[in-house]
Structure 1
Amino acid sequence: MKLNLLCSILLCLVVASLPAYSQQGPPVPTSLKTLKAVHPRLIILDSQIPAIKRNIAADAFAKKQFDSMRVRAEFLLSQPVSPYSPKGPRGQELSSAREILEHILTLSGMYRLSGDKRFADRAVAEMTSAAQFPTWYANLLANSEFTAAMGIGYDWMYPVLTPQQRALIRDAIEKKGIGPFTRHMDRKDFHLRNNWADVFYGSATVAALAIADPEDKASMELAEKVVGYTRPGMKWIMELFAPDGGFDEGPIYWGYATIYNVLYIASMDSAVGTDFGASTMPGFEETPTYLIQATGPLFTSANFGDARPEVASPSPQIYWFANRFHRPAYMVQQRLFEDHMRHKIAAMPVHDGLKRFNMLGIFWYASAPQPKSAPSLPLVQSFARTQQAYMRTSWNDPKAWYIGFKAGEAGVSHGHLDLGSFVMDGLGERWAVDLGSESYSVPEYFGKKRWNYFRTQTRSHNTLLVDNENEDRNGIADILFAKKVGTNEYSVADLDKVYKGKLEAWKRGIAILHGNRVVVQDEVAPAKPVDIIWNFQTRSEVEIAPDGRTAILSQNGVRIKATILEPAKAHFSTSVAQITPEETANPGLTDLIIERRQTSEPETIAVMFSDPQQSQSFHLKKLADWGNK
């Protein structure tokens, strides 16, 4: 399922369910008197290019990235100029805009690094063609990506553009890109507090700074108006990174939001000399830590909510973060990711994930000092912003055990009814899976039917299902603590408010013990007799022992053992999801379950996962005692 199609179809769906924001009042008075008069002035200046070239020549990783992008640029020379895609499916519009963005960035960036005028000529051909398109689409995401592409291209290719070409492209940016943005802002009908806002504000700023001319009063007034809107708007949306960099919408949408945060900040810095404090917003410096922690040892993500199943995407902006905030660990982790995922990234469509920004990744990587070593990030970390916890036994072992544990709020943008759920990796495999999003094209996925679909419901997640009903749509859960004590790692969540009227109390703890076993422990106190189903969604083959107390999970020649520790008379069984024909199939999916019927007294449900060859001994402790030495 392609991210571009997912994002784009969303635009035609109900927005009322999302947290709202409306720009209040006129734009904030903003002076751009320090705007550089020369081009290029956005993101990367010409004065930086010689050092970048030297670093590419001296660094094997950078050289490999550059060579890959040069091959891509050469390929584009053999292809026709991007055609206009008439109004059609919104996925088509967004794909078209993203492809043009990738073409312009790749070609103009390669020209700046190589000096080969063939790339400049083709970048200009792309821009002059796109400038004459009748529209850059009513789809605001498509329009925004188009606008960013043309703004960067205009600035980077300004020295080779003729006066006529400059006028053509500048006029198109003003009327077809910035015009729709300012009309929305003037009407005060921008009601967004999710990743869309980052894209809208970032793209409009890039374009306005590109075409502003200190010798032209009208263009400066337009740029100051745009930045007068985007300056408070961007800082307002970036409040969602506070206090520690966690991101409610998950790792995929983290990438989409932060690439435009970075384009905004980098463009303001390079063109004006200030970002008006955006980069100092609480949590922003730390936010790559969230993405890195949400990526497991197999370089697959803890894909809670509307995220693609178990796929991590390139995030070239992490190199910018590493350089800007002097965080060598960011550089090291992103480089490891790209090395490991090189072939998968190469196979991705250019409009998928953030692949279209890979040229910027080369500039940002080669602009930064390359660390010989870097301090490791913590093995255990939780995020107050999202109330999620992450635990792993190693940063450099693909067979490490890894847990992504979800609490937080059910009602966040792109969220599912999945509080208490988790993903689990170990011994080189993912055992507990999250299915990610349903197709955004199913009826009313963001409307009244959202909770009718299996993938958004509680029963599709690795958590407790009570009375065969979804969790409370307004449920809230907190991570009480996540910490490492000796050779053990612990995280405990308070889920008391998730099943109101059904459970008086519910605490869930997940522990990685001695680096070789995982325990998932629930302590529940029913408010009345209830049916409880403990769920563990897996794509492994499941073989349950005759007594039902243990099960062997097998995939790709690797096995782990699941053992029920409590209750004494509980047993495993399996269930296969029943879905409607319009929903996405789940081949190979099995739900390993424990059923507790008409439970009325407080009880503990505890399951241990381990290598069958390891000792199975374990002393059960109350969650209140977890984490104590």
Structure 2
Amino acid sequence: MSKPAAPDYRMISEEHLRQLPGHPRILVDAARFASLKPQDDDVSRKIKALIGQIAEEVLGAGPVDYESVPILLYPVREVQGRILALAMAYRLSDDARYLDRARDELRGLAALKNWGTGHFLSVGEAALAAGIGLDWLYDEIPEEERDYIATAIRTKALEPSLNAEEGINGWVDGDYNWNQVCNAGLSVGALAVAERDPGLAERIVNRAVRNVPIAGKVYAPDGSYPEGVSYWAYGTSFHVILIEALRSAGGGSWGLEKLPGFLESADFKLQMTGPTGLEFTYADYNVENQNEPIMLWFAGELGRLDLAVDELAEIQRLSQPSEDEIALRPNRLLPCELLWWNPELSAKNEMRSHHWTAGGVLPVAVMRSSWTDPRATFVAIKGGSPQHSHAHMDVGGFVLEADGVRWAVDPGTESYDRMRAAGIALWDYSQGSTRWDTFRAGPEGHNILRFNGAAQDVSGKGEITVLATRPGVPANVVDLTSLYSGQVTRVERTVLLDTDNTVLISDEWTTGSQPVQAAWQWLTGAEVSRTPQGLLLLQDGQSLALMVEPSAETTIAVEDVSGARELQDSPNPGLRRIVIRLSTPAGSSAKLRVRAIPGSAAQRTS
């Protein structure tokens, strides 16, 4: 794919906002709504059925509970999903039940005293919900009720947002998901009510066009995302909504899809998923068990059906759930899939890379033996820094799969509520932050190197380069030296996927004026036993051997880390940690090599 043209950040004018098309105009217009009704391919039928199913469930549900939660984010997300489903279901069916309930939900949201300005993410999500509901149902809502909803958008979202400062890395212009979510939601709200105050709408939308590219910088150059795969889905979904809202109501996207690495991030999403279907769970990764609507947008935007394959499978799972699979929940943005799905999209011979390396804010590398074999060997490793939004002290950490089992795991995020209750400085990424005392966020809960039990240096960054080896043997080197400043003088981790589907993890370090004890960590859900050459892991009827070199100089411990250690920690059922220790004298170099041999590979060579 050729590189997109440079972004165009020319501002949208108040005069343009005075001349916006009538409603609906956000993401979709009346003609597009009309064209959706006869859209009758298999995928569209399934999406329509799911929208109808969600809408029917809302009809049978009670009102959203806004009162019993400390922040409004979760009930606001719930009402957003309800409004989207009900409004779309009404536009497809003309069933007044959906219209009436959507109006109820809009009035309930508008009646709140405020939309959570102390946690502005809630405001952005609420503005999106109210803006789309008002826009899509505009002609069916009585004028007095329109005024009520529009006033709520203005007084509870748009005007309060003007109190936020720029230039302080806050939600307005931070390099993290809040920027995209808040600016997109507010822009949708502004475009929904633009005819009432074009000047206010101009300020809101231009602020978004000006600042969302700051959040977009983290995708460069290859599409990797530092906050983790689940936060990629969150921030990127709202980024896409802003693009489409500007296209439909603003006359253009203002180049927001042309940010370096943004479109490439669809491949990042694919690459982060292993053969088991599990994702690389680095940083504050949340297991959400829901589908991913924006993959249909990326497929259409890039003309690549291969980007939609996994999402189409998830739509099928939602349509025909199986008792043998983990229950999948519909994403609250699922109704947008009907707008983003292109039934004319045809399959092309797209070749997914078996070895993918990304640079930028989050260097990451992925190697896999196959894209089609669910028992393939897969290893993914990350660089980057702990000093970024939602980051963990996990630089050099990896996950590994083979024979249908994830053998090396990353436990993902800890409960924010649990961390807050324990007095943890949740969003403090400084060296001495109590954040790092949390098992899942700190160095204790990751597949990394440690020296004398110390933490990684948050000012450091791990860079990843491709290592040239034999043909057909992918490998990467992670330079970890700056993460261990004052501990050792040089550290590198090399990961190699061999032709026999074994994985070699080779660590080398050089000490300074003091000796060190190195500790090599591997977290697993497997049963672990010792062997003369190292270790044997057993899980789900499969095996993985770890061959350790030099075996004579190392000590190996297998620790039970399943229990909660501190007040802020959740239990980790079945989790064990392998720790291989090696003492290194001052002024010397050492190497530790661990080869992971899947049972299937061992059988082929025996």
| Structure 1 length-normalised TM | 0.86
In structure 2, the residue matched to 1:458 is 443
In structure 1, the residue matched to 2:104 is 125
Is residue 425 of structure 1 aligned with residue 406 of structure 2?
Answer: no
Is residue 155 of structure 1 aligned with residue 140 of structure 2?
Answer: no
Per the TM alignment, residue 152 of structure 1 is displaced from its structure 2 partner at its CA by 0.4
Distance 1:239 1:191 in 2: 11
2:275–2:376 CA contact under 8 A, matched in 1: yes
Distance 1:95 1:520 in 2: 41
Per the alignment, do residues 149 and 607 of structure 1 end up closer, same or farther by CA in structure 2, a change over 3 Å counting?
A: same
Which letter maps to 2:401? D
In structure 2, the residue matched to 1:504 is 489
2:166–2:173 CA contact under 8 A, matched in 1: no
Which shows bigger deviation, 367-376 or 463-472?
Answer: 367-376
In structure 2, the residue matched to 1:324 is 301
In structure 2, the residue matched to 1:9 is none
Is residue 48 of structure 1 aligned with residue 23 of structure 2?
Answer: no
Q: How does 1:214-229 map onto structure 2 within 5 Å?
A: 216=196, 219-229=197-207
Is residue 100 of structure 1 aligned with residue 84 of structure 2?
Answer: no
Of 589, 592, 604, 1:602 maps to 589
Q: How does 1:514-525 map onto structure 2 within 5 Å?
A: 514-525=499-510
1:49–1:113 CA contact under 8 A, matched in 2: yes
Of 180, 187, 206, 1:205 maps to 187
In structure 1, the residue matched to 2:539 is 555
Of 288, 312, 324, 1:335 maps to 312
Which secondary structure does the structure 1 equivalent of 2:88 belong to? helix
Distance 2:251 2:595 in 1: 55
2:125–2:185 CA contact under 8 A, matched in 1: yes
In structure 2, the residue matched to 1:544 is 530
In structure 2, the residue matched to 1:75 is 57
Distance 1:491 1:285 in 2: 24
2:438–2:568 CA contact under 8 A, matched in 1: no
Distance 1:437 1:395 in 2: 27
Distance 1:613 1:287 in 2: 33
Is residue 612 of structure 1 aligned with residue 593 of structure 2?
Answer: no
Which letter maps to 2:413? S
In structure 2, the residue matched to 1:398 is 374
Deviations 1:289-331 (A, max 9, x none): 111111212221111111126x664321121122123233212
In structure 2, the residue matched to 1:584 is 570
In structure 2, the residue matched to 1:20 is none
Q: How does 1:303-314 map onto structure 2 within 5 Å?
A: 303-308=281-286, 313-314=290-291
Which letter maps to 1:322? A
Per the alignment, do residues 599 and 300 of structure 1 end up closer, same or farther by CA in structure 2, a change over 3 Å counting?
A: farther
Deviations 1:264-298 (A, max 9, x none): 11001001211222121111111111111112122
Distance 1:544 1:208 in 2: 63
Which secondary structure does the structure 1 equivalent of 2:231 belong to? helix
Which secondary structure does the structure 2 equivalent of 1:290 belong to? helix
2:379–2:401 CA contact under 8 A, matched in 1: yes
Distance 2:395 2:378 in 1: 18
Of 252, 259, 272, 2:237 maps to 259
1:381–1:483 CA contact under 8 A, matched in 2: no
1:300–1:312 CA contact under 8 A, matched in 2: no
Of 463, 474, 499, 2:459 maps to 474
Is residue 136 of structure 1 aligned with residue 121 of structure 2?
Answer: no
Q: How does 1:24-39 map onto structure 2 within 5 Å?
A: 31-33=15-17, 35-39=19-23
Distance 1:591 1:543 in 2: 12
Which letter maps to 1:146? A
1:573–1:593 CA contact under 8 A, matched in 2: yes
Per the TM alignment, residue 368 of structure 1 is displaced from its structure 2 partner at its CA by 5.1
Which letter maps to 1:372? A
Per the TM alignment, residue 53 of structure 1 is displaced from its structure 2 partner at its CA by 3.8
Q: How does 1:292-371 map onto structure 2 within 5 Å?
A: 292-308=270-286, 313-339=290-316, 343=321, 347=327, 355-365=331-341, 367=342, 369-371=344-346
Per the alignment, do residues 315 and 65 of structure 1 end up closer, same or farther by CA in structure 2, a change over 3 Å counting?
A: same
Superposed CA RMSD in Å reads 2.6
In structure 1, the residue matched to 2:44 is 62
Per the alignment, do residues 156 and 519 of structure 1 end up closer, same or farther by CA in structure 2, a change over 3 Å counting?
A: same
Distance 1:30 1:379 in 2: 49
In structure 2, the residue matched to 1:378 is 353
Distance 2:603 2:285 in 1: 35
In structure 2, the residue matched to 1:625 is none
Per the alignment, do residues 239 and 245 of structure 1 end up closer, same or farther by CA in structure 2, a change over 3 Å counting?
A: same
Which secondary structure does the structure 1 equivalent of 2:116 belong to? coil
Of 557, 564, 572, 2:548 maps to 564
Distance 1:395 1:317 in 2: 21
In structure 2, the residue matched to 1:196 is 178
Per the TM alignment, residue 257 of structure 1 is displaced from its structure 2 partner at its CA by 0.6
Per the TM alignment, residue 515 of structure 1 is displaced from its structure 2 partner at its CA by 4.9
1:481–1:491 CA contact under 8 A, matched in 2: yes
In structure 1, the residue matched to 2:8 is none
Per the TM alignment, residue 349 of structure 1 is displaced from its structure 2 partner at its CA by 6.5
Deviations 1:430-455 (A, max 9, x none): 11000112221322233431111222
Per the alignment, do residues 430 and 346 of structure 1 end up closer, same or farther by CA in structure 2, a change over 3 Å counting?
A: closer
Distance 2:107 2:256 in 1: 33
1:323–1:368 CA contact under 8 A, matched in 2: no
1:393–1:515 CA contact under 8 A, matched in 2: no
Per the TM alignment, residue 483 of structure 1 is displaced from its structure 2 partner at its CA by 7.2
In structure 2, the residue matched to 1:623 is none
Per the TM alignment, residue 519 of structure 1 is displaced from its structure 2 partner at its CA by 1.1
Which letter maps to 2:200? L
Aligned-pair identity in percent equals: 27
Per the alignment, do residues 538 and 285 of structure 1 end up closer, same or farther by CA in structure 2, a change over 3 Å counting?
A: same
Is residue 111 of structure 1 aligned with residue 94 of structure 2?
Answer: no
Which shows bigger deviation, 480-489 or 189-198?
Answer: 480-489
Distance 2:115 2:329 in 1: 21
Which secondary structure does the structure 2 equivalent of 1:562 belong to? strand
Which secondary structure does the structure 2 equivalent of 1:498 belong to? helix
Distance 1:418 1:63 in 2: 43
Distance 2:402 2:263 in 1: 30
Is residue 279 of structure 1 aligned with residue 257 of structure 2?
Answer: yes
Per the TM alignment, residue 370 of structure 1 is displaced from its structure 2 partner at its CA by 3.0
Which letter maps to 2:53? V
Per the alignment, do residues 339 and 509 of structure 1 end up closer, same or farther by CA in structure 2, a change over 3 Å counting?
A: farther
Distance 1:340 1:483 in 2: 41
Per the TM alignment, residue 617 of structure 1 is displaced from its structure 2 partner at its CA by 11
| Structure 2 length-normalised TM | 0.89
Of 410, 427, 441, 1:446 maps to 427
Per the alignment, do residues 50 and 346 of structure 1 end up closer, same or farther by CA in structure 2, a change over 3 Å counting?
A: farther
Which letter maps to 1:324? E
Which shows bigger deviation, 326-335 or 491-500?
Answer: 326-335
Which letter maps to 1:522? D
1:332–1:374 CA contact under 8 A, matched in 2: no
Of 396, 399, 407, 2:383 maps to 407
Deviations 1:223-244 (A, max 9, x none): 1121121110112222222222
Which letter maps to 1:107? L
Is residue 176 of structure 1 aligned with residue 156 of structure 2?
Answer: yes
Deviations 1:86-128 (A, max 9, x none): 37412xx211101110100000011122232221221122112
2:23–2:135 CA contact under 8 A, matched in 1: yes
Per the TM alignment, residue 160 of structure 1 is displaced from its structure 2 partner at its CA by 1.0
